[in-house]
């Protein structure tokens, strides 16, 4: 669902793609907004990026080695 937010998809399109009802997607989006304390989609995207960066920067983060390898062009998960 987070990728769909960054792809700027509307809730009905997200629901169709995920096989969920639009009401369920709205509920999930409301919960995301509430948990991250934001009121707009732009603020939601900023908060998600911030949380990702905090996870990557933390010492002993499982994401750090993956990101370091990606930066070197040696990431096994790149397409």
Q: 2-71 maps to which CATH number?
A: 1.10.10
pTM: predicted TM-score of the whole model, two decimal places = 0.63
CA 37 – CA 40 distance, rounded (Å): 10
For residue 61, the model assigns a pLDDT of 64
Question: How high is the pLDDT of residue 59?
Answer: 65
Q: 3-state class of 21 per DSSP?
A: coil
In tens digits, the chain (79 residues) has pLDDT values of 788 888 889 999 999 999 999 999 999 999 989 999 999 999 999 998 888 887 777 666 666 666 666 666 676 655 4
pLDDT score of 7: 87
């Amino acid at each position: 669902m987070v990728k769909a937010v960054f792809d700027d998809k509307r809730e009905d399109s997200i629901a169709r793609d995920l096989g969920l009802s639009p009401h369920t997607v709205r509920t999930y989006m409301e919960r995301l907004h509430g948990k991250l304390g934001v009121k707009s989609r732009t603020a939601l995207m900023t908060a998600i990026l911030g949380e990702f960066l905090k996870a990557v920067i933390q010492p002993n983060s499982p994401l750090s080695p993956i990101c370091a390898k990606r930066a070197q062009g040696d990431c096994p998960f790149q397409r």
